[in-house]
């Protein structure tokens, strides 16, 4: 109701005040009804932002408590990568890629890892150079980070030698396995009890599926080939118009419908890095789509100035979408927000005595 609720008092001689804009916020409003002074003109959700934020944090903390985590990990499809619980019952995890990692000095690499962790990354990915062979460098970088930080690490390469050395140094996740390289990798992944992202390609034969159905069927076949390890399916999110973001989202949706518990990878950076738009809004929308498909990992580098703070934005977006999912409401007035450059309310709506 947009009108002043005081009209009700005038007409019926009954005090009337504005509640929250959305019915989902009725409970939190009633919980603190004695702690706030309701208004006849300003919706209650504007008055209770701090309470909403605390409720949001409490929801997240509840799902990340040790007792709840151990219980959820017993369910099919949930598992850990290092010490990070992952699956459809947990918030989407943010995997931050350090692109072109072999070019960095040891100090630069560790500084980047620390920045990613402080930005909210749940996992860190070490991006190797395509079509190069740097197994010793792969070992050195993974071991260096493991010796300094307690965080799950993945190595981003399809080179079996680099993968083997990365695993030997302590890598927890392989990114990626396809139909062309799986035979040379799967035994090593199993030996080191690591996890692996699988993609629907066969680069050895220059095969890249185009349609959503082709991607899903290819991933399902590769899952069977890799049945002895834990896999995370990546349908490959395409940039807009290259060839089709829509088709790749359809692939994610179709895969989830056919495979309700298998972990799903969502390459957000494939879109945001190749779009001249401020990243925070892009990340919010893509994270919402990822949530609706029950994706489990949001992947991004921070390779350009326009996508700086991508990890922090995706972490916020992940929390927003998780709370939205739990509360069964739209991602609005949740207490946390990705509104950075505009405001949802006119300044006049906020009155300070």
DSSP letter, residue 237: P
Question: What's residue 97's pLDDT?
Answer: 97
Gap between the Cα atoms of 203 and 11, Å rounded: 74
Question: What's residue 129's pLDDT?
Answer: 95
Number of residues that this document lists for the chain: 353
Q: Write the DSSP assignment of 58-113 as a string of letters.
A: HHHHHHTSHHHHHHHTTSTT-EEETTEEESTTSPPEEEEEETTGGGS-HHHHHHHH
Comparing CA positions, the residue from 268, 278, 253 lying closest to residue 339 is 278
Is 286 within 8 Å of 271 (Cβ atoms)? Answer: yes
- The two beta strands, 79-81 and 84-86, are antiparallel
140 contacts: CB under 8 Å, gap ≥ 6: 169
Gap between the Cα atoms of 175 and 185, Å rounded: 11
Question: What's residue 246's pLDDT?
Answer: 97
Number of H helices, E strands in the chain: 14, 10
Residues facing 299 on adjacent strands = 95
Q: Put residue 120 in one of left, alpha, beta given phi > 0 → left and psi -120 to 50 → alpha.
A: left
Cα–Cα separations (whole angstroms), residue 327 to 30, 51, 88, 211, 320:
16, 15, 16, 34, 11
Question: What's residue 149's pLDDT?
Answer: 98
Question: What's residue 102's pLDDT?
Answer: 96
Which helix (H) or strand (E) segment holds residue 124: the answer is strand 123-127
DSSP letter, residue 149: -
pLDDT along the chain (353 residues), means of 10: 91 93 84 86 84 84 86 94 95 97 97 97 97 96 98 97 98 97 96 97 95 98 97 97 96 98 97 93 97 98 89 96 92 86 54 40
Helix, coil or strand: residue 30:
helix
């Amino acid at each position: 109701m947009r009108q002043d609720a005081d009209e009700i008092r005038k007409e019926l001689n009954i005090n009337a005040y504005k509640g929250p804009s959305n019915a989902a916020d009725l409970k939190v409003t009633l919980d603190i009804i004695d702690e706030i002074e309701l208004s006849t003109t300003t919706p209650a959700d504007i008055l209770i932002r701090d309470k909403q934020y605390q409720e949001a944090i409490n929801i997240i903390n509840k799902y990340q408590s040790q007792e709840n985590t151990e219980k959820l990990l017993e369910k099919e499809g949930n598992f850990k990568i290092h010490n990070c619980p992952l699956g459809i019952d947990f918030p989407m995890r943010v995997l931050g890629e350090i692109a072109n990692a072999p070019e960095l000095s040891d100090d630069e690499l560790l500084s980047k890892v620390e920045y990613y962790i402080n930005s909210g990354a749940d996992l860190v990915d070490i991006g190797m150079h395509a079509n190069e062979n740097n197994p010793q460098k792969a070992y050195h970088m993974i071991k260096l980070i493991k010796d300094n930080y307690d965080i799950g690490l993945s190595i981003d390469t399809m080179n079996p030698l680099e993968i083997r050395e990365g695993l030997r140094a302590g890598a927890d996740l392989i990114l990626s396995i396809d139909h062309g390289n799986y035979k040379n990798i799967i035994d090593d992944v199993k030996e080191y009890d690591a996890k692996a992202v699988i993609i629907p390609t066969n680069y050895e034969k220059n095969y890249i599926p185009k349609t959503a159905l082709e991607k899903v069927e290819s991933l399902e076949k590769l899952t069977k080939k890799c049945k002895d390890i834990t896999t995370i399916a990546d349908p490959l999110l395409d940039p807009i118009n290259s060839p089709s973001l829509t088709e790749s989202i359809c692939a994610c949706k179709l895969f989830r419908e056919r495979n309700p518990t298998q972990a799903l990878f969502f390459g957000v950076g494939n879109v945001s890095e190749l779009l001249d738009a401020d990243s925070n809004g892009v990340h919010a929308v893509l994270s919402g789509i990822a949530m609706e498909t029950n994706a489990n990992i949001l992947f991004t580098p921070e390779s350009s100035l326009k996508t700086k703070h991508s990890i922090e934005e995706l972490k916020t977006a992940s929390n927003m979408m998780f709370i939205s999912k739990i509360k069964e409401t739209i991602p609005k007035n949740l207490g946390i927000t990705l509104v950075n450059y505009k405001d949802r309310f006119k300044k006049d709506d906020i009155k300070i005595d």
